[in-house]
Each structure stands twice: as C-alpha cells, then as structure tokens.
Amino acid sequence: MNEERVLALAGVFQGAALAQQLATDGRCDEVAMEASLASVFRIDADSVAGVYGNVTGVRRGLRTLVAQFEDQTRDVAVMRMAITVLRLERNLSRHRGLLDKLQEGIVGAQRQVEHFGLTHPNVSARLAELYSSTLSTLKPRIMVTGTPAQLQQKPVVDRVRAALLASVRSAVLWHQLGGRQWHLLIYRKQCSMLARGLLTGASLDDGG
C-alpha cells in the first residue's frame, strides 16, 4: 500500500460517504462534493492528488477511511457501498461499450460544466442520467439506504448518483494504481496510518 493508492481509495470512500449523507439528510459536505465531481472530469491529471485538486479535496474521504478501518467508528452502509463500487468497477472494465458510453457522456457533461458551473443541478442531473444508463445496468447494484423523504426528491437522487459516479471514477484510478479488493483486509492498519499522515499533511498545507 502506498500514499497514491490510499488517496484513490479515499476518493472511493468519499463518494460513498457523500451519497450516504445525501440519502439521509438531503445535504452533504459541499467542499468534498465539489472535489469529487471535479475528479470525474480530470482524466489527465499529472498526479493522483491532482485528480482531486489537491490532498485537501479528498480530506473527507481520508477521514472516512480512518473511521472505517478503525473498527469502533465504522459506518456499515458506507463500507458496503465502497466495496460494491470496487466490485462494480471490475465488472465495468469488462464492458468496452459501456466504458466508451461513459467516457462520451463525461465529455458531453463537461460542456454543461463550462456553461453552468460544476455544482449546478443540471450537471448533477446529467451525471445521474449517465450513471443510470451505464453503471446501473451492471451487477452488483449499489444499494443506497437513507430517508424515504429524501430519496423521493429527484435533485437529491441526482446528487446521490453523481457522487456514486465519482466514487467509481476513483475505483478506476485505484485499480490502475495496482489496488485490489483484498488489500482492504490485509493492509487495514497501514492504510489507516497513511491516511492519518495525509490528513496531517493536508492540515499543515492549509495552515490549520
């Protein structure tokens, strides 16, 4: 396990945590959401941290990782979602047509980002539609549990799906860096330690 893999994995967990937060409360950590959404469009970043803007962009995910790997604070729903995302990404990699459709859709959504801005509801709706027409057609399905009142609101559901799409984008990166699902079992302590180190570094960079 190395810092780059931990950052990518934090991206996976950040997307899952945001989806859970939205499904439960109808709102989420907006700074983290913006960084996760931006990562979907940063295909050619020159570093792993650059995919999220910088390490601070994935701070929420690093905190979630530490909480998940240090048993007393684990959120079962977030853990289950993150594991499903990793499995879904492996299935996606075997479907060339869907991958192409996903990439084309992201390019199309990029034009909306330029027009409306990253956090505009139209962009979330576009990404959600893309998620539904590609990732939702594969197994395993990502099960989101939350508050029925929130999950009946289209803008909330759109943002949940957009967050999950960002999570899958990080799973692609994690796998490209050599990450494997069994690493989550074998390297829990090491992963948590590296995540803590990255969080400390991010706080120092922020001057706080």
In the predicted model, is pLDDT for residue 208 greater than 60?
A: no
Q: Parse the chain into domains and list their residue ranges.
A: 3-206
Give CA separation, 118 vs 21, 30, 34, 111, in Å. Answer: 19, 11, 7, 10
pLDDT the model gives residue 207: 60
Determine if residue 207 is left, alpha or beta; phi over 0 gives left, psi from -120 to 50 gives alpha, anything else beta.
Answer: left
pLDDT confidence bin for 200, thresholds 50/70/90: very high
Contact 47, 177 (CB under 8 A): no
Residue 193: pLDDT band by 50, 70, 90 thresholds? Answer: very high
Report the candidate in 207, 124, 113 with the shortest Cα–Cα distance to residue 164. Answer: 124
pLDDT digits (tens, 9 = 90+) for 130-169: 999 999 999 999 999 999 999 999 999 999 999 999 999 9
User: pLDDT-based confidence at 204, cuts 50/70/90?
Assistant: confident
Average pLDDT taken over every residue of the chain = 94
Region of residue 103 (left: phi > 0; alpha: psi -120 to 50; beta: else): alpha
pTM (predicted TM-score)? 0.96
Tens digits of residue pLDDT in 58-78: 999 999 999 999 877 789 999
Give the model's pLDDT for residue 13. 98
Select from 1.10.3890.10, 3.50.50.60, 1.10.3720.10, 3.40.50.300 the CATH code of 3-206.
Answer: 1.10.3890.10
From the CA atom positions of the chain, what is the Rg in Å?
16
